[in-house]
Amino acid sequence: MKNLIDRLERGEPLSRPDFISLLGGYRDPELAGCLAAKALAVRERHFGRDVFLRGLIEFTNHCRHDCFYCGLRRGNRHVERYRLTLPEIAARCDLGHSLGFRTFVLQGGEDPFFTADRLAEIVAALRGRFPDCALTLSVGEQPRETYQRLFDAGADRFLLRHETADADHYARLHPPAQTLAERFRCLYDLKEIGFQVGAGFMVGSPHQTAGHLAQDLLFLRELQPHMVGVGPFIPHPETPLAGFPPGDPDLTLFILGLIRLMLPKVLLPATTALGTLVPEARERALSFGANVLMPNLSPLDVREKYEIYTGKIHQGEEAAEGLARLQTRLAALGFRTPRSRGDYPG
Ligand code: 5AD
């Protein structure tokens, strides 16, 4: 198995059976240690000791979709829905900018109120106000023309996890109106338009097999995204998948390491879901090659309402207000948090 890790590090393409057998070894401490050491070295080669910070603004929790895993699904009547206005969003960016953030991530459900016009207006306003910042959008599946308008208005990056690269598995996580083909269409459109694109998936989502995870890794190799978001599944009580167990944090870390080796320059967050499940796991993610953290910059009174999964953390070092403490701790671990956009290295 070490041999497979060596081959991945050398940039050789692994097959689906290769990935399945590698994934089977995630509980072996020696193998995991070997992977972490290599992932760390690769991260260091391309990024030194830099960890990039992104200010996350959750600007709407309305959603037209009904994903079986997500607490913000349309069918969940127990959510108090909210939307932020442009002045409210801009005020959070002002605060974030003064704290040192140079990337803002605007994330929301697929909210029909935010038409292409309204989204483009927000992007253009923030682009004008923060010329030294990167703007990342995470607003789901949109027509190609909308993506193009948002890019032309000044958005730089787009996050859209593929969730699973297997069509049958996708169909067990989403209603029939949502298809993997459409998700892929969006990701390839975004890339062609010129966005820095983030894909990704949940580890331990219901009905997931090692074969599915291997497929996810093969898909990432094909797509060559600039960013990859991977976190454990965490059940939400008001969803059809409430009864399934959470994903395994150790498997999540192992997969982060594999992704770092396979896509050496990728921007790889230590996700909030991982930190929610195991508090120390976000730091451990940095030792498996992660190099991005996304503290919560949403207004305090809406954070509880953006509950994608149970117990989502949004305070302390997970929050923009806790930034100084986070930076101190990262410095103690030997990491730098530069005040830069932290773009994909060219
Ligand atoms: N557990 C973990 N992650 C989840 N997401 C949605 N619901 C859950 C859940 N229950 C992730 C999805 C989505 C991202 C915004 O959050 O991967 O793309």
DSSP output for 156-183: -EEE---B-S-HHHHHHHS-TT--HHHH
Average pLDDT over residues 124-139: 98
The answer on pLDDT for 15 being more than 80 is yes
Average pLDDT over residues 73-88: 98
292-339 pLDDT tens trace: 999 999 999 999 999 999 888 888 877 878 899 999 999 999 999 999
The answer on pLDDT for 70 being more than 90 is yes
The answer on pLDDT for 253 being more than 80 is yes
* Residue-level pLDDT at 201: 98
**308 pocket-lining for ligand 1 (C-beta < 6 Å):** yes
Average pLDDT over residues 237-255: 98
* Residue-level pLDDT at 1: 87
Average pLDDT over residues 44-67: 98
Percent helix, strand, coil in the chain, to 5, is 45, 15, 40
- Atom 16 of ligand 1: nearest residue by CA position: 308
* Residue-level pLDDT at 101: 97
* Residue-level pLDDT at 29: 97
Of all atoms in ligand 1, which is nearest to the CA of residue 229?
17
- Atom 2 of ligand 1: nearest residue by CA position: 233
The answer on pLDDT for 226 being more than 90 is yes
Of all atoms in ligand 1, which is nearest to the CA of residue 235?
10
Of all atoms in ligand 1, which is nearest to the CA of residue 232?
2
Find, among 267, 337, 272, the residue nearest to 298 by Cα. Answer: 272
**In angstroms, rounded to a whole number, what is the distance separating the alpha carbons of residues 322 and 29?**
33
**In angstroms, rounded to a whole number, what is the distance separating the alpha carbons of residues 293 and 54?**
6
**273 pocket-lining for ligand 1 (C-beta < 6 Å):** yes
Average pLDDT over residues 63-75: 98
Q: What is the mean pLDDT of the chain?
A: 96
Of all atoms in ligand 1, which is nearest to the CA of residue 200?
17
**254 pocket-lining for ligand 1 (C-beta < 6 Å):** no
The answer on pLDDT for 282 being more than 90 is no
**69 pocket-lining for ligand 1 (C-beta < 6 Å):** yes
Average pLDDT over residues 102-110: 98
Q: Amino acid identity of 93?
A: C
Cβ within 8 Å of residue 172, ≥6 positions away = 68, 206, 207
Kindly tell me the burial class for residue 14, based on how many C-beta atoms sit within 10 Å of its own C-beta (0-12, 13-18, 19 or more): buried
Strands 196-203 and 227-232: parallel
* Residue-level pLDDT at 83: 98
Do the Cβ atoms of 270 and 282 come closer than 8 Å?
yes
Q: From ligand 1's centre to the CA of 336, what distance in Å?
A: 28
Q: From ligand 1's centre to the CA of 233, what distance in Å?
A: 7
Assign 222 a pLDDT band (cuts: 50, 70, 90). Answer: very high
